[in-house]
């Protein structure tokens, strides 16, 4: 039990859509930080991922300290469940626990979007900001630099 008081409290926090931070990737994909861990007391992080047609995405990888879940909102999102790539359609959901290999992308000729849920609510926006900055500046990372970047953010190639 995490709440032990006898009565409920007024503690809801409304976060307006127009105030949501976002990161733009070189593919044109836009990550919106709907409810980062800083807004959920670290319990989870919720992000919207909008991908233009043929945007690609994240290759097979895993995380050691958090789970990641995907909920397809629109279009067709290619999801990797650790064994195979499958087409996720609106309403489909993939949960990947810690250590589970996964990946995602948009290989279709149409836009696609999904929600990504991280639990617990680690500061994943830091990773997305760094990727967006690399994209915006055109900086080219060596394999060693990519490995270091991924490791700093608990992301390991599979």
Domain spans in the chain, listed from the N-terminal domain onward: 27-157
- Each residue of 48-70: pLDDT tens digit? 999 999 999 999 999 999 999 99
Tokens at residue 101, please? 């290999």
Check residue 37 and report its DSSP letter.
G
The Cα 136–Cα 133 span in angstroms is 5
Spelled out in words, what is the top-level CATH class assigned to the domain 27-157? mainly beta
Categorize the per-residue pLDDT at 82 as very low, low, confident or very high, splitting at 50, 70 and 90. very high
- Each residue of 109-151: pLDDT tens digit? 999 999 999 999 999 999 999 999 999 999 999 999 999 999 9
Share of the chain above pLDDT 70, in %: 100
Arithmetic mean of pLDDT over the chain: 96
Q: How much is the pLDDT for 1?
A: 87
pLDDT at 7 over 90: yes
The Cα 56–Cα 78 span in angstroms is 9
Question: Cis bond leading into 120, ω under 30°?
Answer: yes
How many other CB atoms are there within 10 angstroms of residue 103's CB atom?
Answer: 18
pLDDT at 81 over 90: yes
């Amino acid at each position: 039990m995490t709440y032990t008081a006898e009565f409920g409290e007024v503690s809801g926090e409304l976060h307006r859509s127009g105030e949501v931070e976002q990161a733009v990737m070189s593919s044109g994909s836009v990550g919106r930080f709907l409810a980062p861990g800083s807004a959920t007391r670290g319990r989870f992080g919720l992000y919207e991922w909008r991908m233009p047609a043929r945007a690609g995405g994240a290759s097979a990888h895993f995380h050691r300290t958090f789970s990641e879940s995907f909920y397809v909102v629109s279009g067709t999102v290619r999801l990797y469940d650790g064994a195979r790539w499958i087409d996720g359609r609106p309403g489909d959901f993939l949960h990947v626990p810690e250590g589970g290999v996964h990946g995602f992308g948009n290989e279709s000729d149409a836009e696609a979007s999904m929600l990504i849920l991280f639990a617990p609510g680690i500061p994943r926006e830091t990773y997305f900001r760094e990727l967006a900055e690399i994209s915006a500046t055109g900086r080219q990372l060596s394999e060693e630099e990519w490995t270091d970047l991924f490791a700093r953010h608990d992301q390991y190639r599979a």
